[in-house]
Homo-oligomer: A and B are copies of this chain.
Amino acid sequence: MTREKLSLFDTTLRDGQQTHGVDFSLDDKQRIARALDELGLDYVEGGWPGANPTDSDFFDAAPTLSRATFTAFGMTKRAGRSAANDEVLSGVLNAGTPAVCLVGKSHEFHVTTALGITLDENRENIRDSFSHIVAQGREALFDAEHFFDGYKSNPDYALACLHDALDAGCRWVVLCDTNGGTLPEEIGRIVREVIASGVPGEKLGIHTHNDTETAVAGSLAAVEAGARQIQGTLNGLGERCGNANLVSIIPTLLLKEPFASQFDTGIPVEKLADLTRISRMLDDILNRVPNRHAAYVGASAFTHKAGLHASAILKDPTTYEHVVPEIVGNARVVPMSNQAGQSNLKKRLDEAGITVEKGDPRLGMILDEIKLREDQGFAYDSARGSFELVARHILGQLPTFFEVERYRVTVEKRRNAKGERITVSEAVVVVEIAGERIISAADSFFGESEADQGPVHALSAALRRDLGRYQDYIDDMKLVDFKVRITNGGTEAVTRVLIDSEDAHGRRWSTVGVSENIVDASFQALKDAVVWKLIRDGAPV
């Protein structure tokens, strides 16, 4: 059975960029565009050329896309001038993209109130804009703004706007639920009516927003009703509550019925394995903490906590997982937690290379210690490095490579000789290794490429500056991330610091420290990171 083509249109770089706090650099945009193209999307909307400098620069240095159609966004011409004489529209066309997507009004109220023009003038703006675009040899798309509200208010007018665009040669008309207030059932119903009015489904797109937490479902409902293009963004990035999340939609289209059998998105199933990485890439670019609970790609998406589920999972994963994690580039996680049982723990120890026989009483002791520490504020779900050290300690398999006699950190802000205000972080660490006492100091002008978090960096550098016989083992360690959280430790607030370290082998491990004191908490995490590395690399005791 031949599958129908279903087009995917990404607007991360345009609608996503409109989000509070988002401002992609030129380099960011190029990385994202390439990733979208490699994934196999049909359209990449790059922004609004002329609207802001990074957008214009991006179109000037347009990425070479091998599959996706690069699209410029703009708006229909304004009243009182021709399409050719609207300089904003010219700016969009001058970007020279193969496709142009213009937003225009289809809701009578917006025409008369927001724009302050007549209904006929608006239709003329639509017709003339798209005729002009098509005459320039571009593929034209019409984003019909506030379509669903407009259709409910004056269906004839809303439909007329769509038909005007199609008659002028638009390849696609996209129904936009601009304020996100339309529910999926209604979206489906209206899409069917739009198609019944003579708009071909193969030319119809859907663009939802997540203001009722149904953007994904609304997109699917539109496709079930006959639409054949979905507009969305990576990670649902977008204003207010976000856009339709393509990272949730794509796996559903490829893996679940009725979509998998009925539609061909052009994205090969194997490409799904890149999805988690692409999702994280965007989080990295935005310096956002990834959503653990994201569908398909979230760190917790295949994480099974409750003891009850976990043993059934290990017997047969299909009992509890709706898709195979690896297919979307994710992984099953059976984490350490307060409620996990010994079967979880044994598995986690196996993964860390520590063998403990089932029924060994020390499994219970490890669980108890983990629980005790978690009550104090430690978090071992994330900090697997530190978790391993706790387990080794209980099992008598934790070597003492060195002792820390003391450490001190000073941060001083003062004026230098030129009278400029400067800040200096200085750390001193005293360790004892094999009977030898080593004092190391470091300050915040240490000059490495790693992120300089002042006191913590100085401490990290001082600790790793001279570890005597172990120096070679830790020379390639880098501090790559550092998260601070105020949390509960018993009855008081404590500071929890999570540190991510990386080495030249590309290994990445997380360690944790907890204290009332942020520097103390950081030091615990730093020390754990070093000890973990020494153990993993088989340093001699």
Residues from 275 to 297 in A contacting B, C-beta threshold 8 Å: 287, 289, 292-296
Question: A343 — which chain B residues lie within 8 A by C-beta?
Answer: none
Q: A90 on the interface (CB 8 Å rule)?
A: no
Contacts of A241 in B (CB 8 A): 293-295, 298, 300-301
Residues in B neighbouring A516, C-beta threshold 8 A: 423, 444, 452-454
Chain B residues within an 8 Å CB radius of A109: 319
Which of the 9-residue segments A32-40, A62-70, A181-189, A264-272 touches chain B?
A181-189
Given contacts A495-B454, A520-B413, contact A240 B301 (CB under 8 A): yes
Question: Inside 8 A of A178's CB, which chain B residues have their CB?
Answer: 320
Q: Tell me the smallest distance from the CB of A326 to a CB of chain B, in Å.
A: 16
The answer to whether B335 touches A20 (Cβ under 8 A) is: yes
B518:A453 contact, CB within 8 angstroms = yes
Kindly identify, within residues 170 to 215 of chain A, every residue whose CB is under 8 Å from any CB belonging to chain B: 178-181, 183-185, 210-214
Asked whether any CB of chain B lies closer than 8 Å to the CB of A30, the reply is no
Which 9 A-B residue pairings sit nearest by Cβ, starting from the closest? Answer: A181-B322, A217-B217, A454-B517, A213-B248, A451-B493, A411-B519, A213-B295, A484-B484, A179-B322
**A224 and B185 contacting across the interface, CB-CB below 8 Å:** yes
For A486, the chain B residues whose CB sits under 8 A away are 287, 451, 453, 481-482
User: Is residue A436 contacting chain B, with contact meaning CB distance below 8 A?
Assistant: no
Contact between chains at B113 and A183 (CB < 8 Å): no
**Are A519 and B300 touching (Cβ within 8 A)?**
no
Within 8 A of B (CB), among A505-541: 515-520, 523
Select the stretch in A126-134, A304-312, A350-358, A362-370 that faces chain B.
Answer: A304-312
How many A residues face the partner with a CB closer than 8 A?
A: 106
Q: Whole-angstrom distance between the alpha carbons of A240 and B322 in the complex?
A: 11
Interface residues of A (CB under 8 A from B): 18-21, 23, 52, 109-110, 113-114, 146, 178-181, 183-185, 210-214, 216-218, 220-221, 224, 236, 239-242, 245, 248, 252, 256, 287, 289, 292-296, 298, 300-306, 309, 312, 315-316, 319-323, 335, 337-339, 374, 379, 381, 406-415, 423, 425, 444, 451-456, 481-488, 492-493, 495, 515-520, 523
The distance from the CB of A517 to the nearest CB of chain B, in whole angstroms, is 3
**A423 lies within 8 A of B515 (CB):** yes
Residues of B within 8 A of A211 (CB): 295-296, 301, 322
Q: Are A411 and B517 in contact (CB under 8 A)?
A: yes
- On whether the beta carbons of A413 and B523 are closer than 8 Å, the reply is yes
| Distance (whole angstroms) from the CB of A524 to the closest CB of chain B | 10
Closest B residue by C-beta to A177: B322
Q: Are A517 and B179 in contact (CB under 8 A)?
A: no
Q: Would A23 and B454 count as touching, CB distance under 8 A? A: no
Contacts of A316 in B (CB 8 A): 113-114
The answer to whether B425 touches A381 (Cβ under 8 A) is no
B293→A240 contact, CB < 8 A:
yes
When the two chains form their complex, are residues A239 and B515 in contact, meaning their CB atoms are under 8 A apart?
A: no
User: Is there contact, CB below 8 Å, between A315 and B114?
Assistant: yes
Q: Besides the contacts A452-B493, A483-B484, A518-B518, what 6 more A-B pairs have beta carbons closer than 8 Å? A: A114-B315, A212-B248, A407-B413, A408-B414, A423-B519, A454-B516
Q: How far is the CA of A241 from the CA of B486 in the complex (A)?
A: 24
CA of A248 to CA of B177 in the docked complex: distance in angstroms?
17
Chain B residues with Cβ below 8 Å from A216 are 212-214, 217
Expressed in whole angstroms, the Cα–Cα distance for A245 and B337 within the complex equals: 24
Cα distance A339–B453 in the bound complex, in angstroms = 29
Instruction: Knowing A242-B293, A293-B242, A517-B454, say if A488 contacts B20 (CB, 8 Å).
Output: no
**Contact residues in B for A406 (Cβ distance below 8 Å):** 412-415
State A456–B456 Cα separation when bound (angstroms).
14
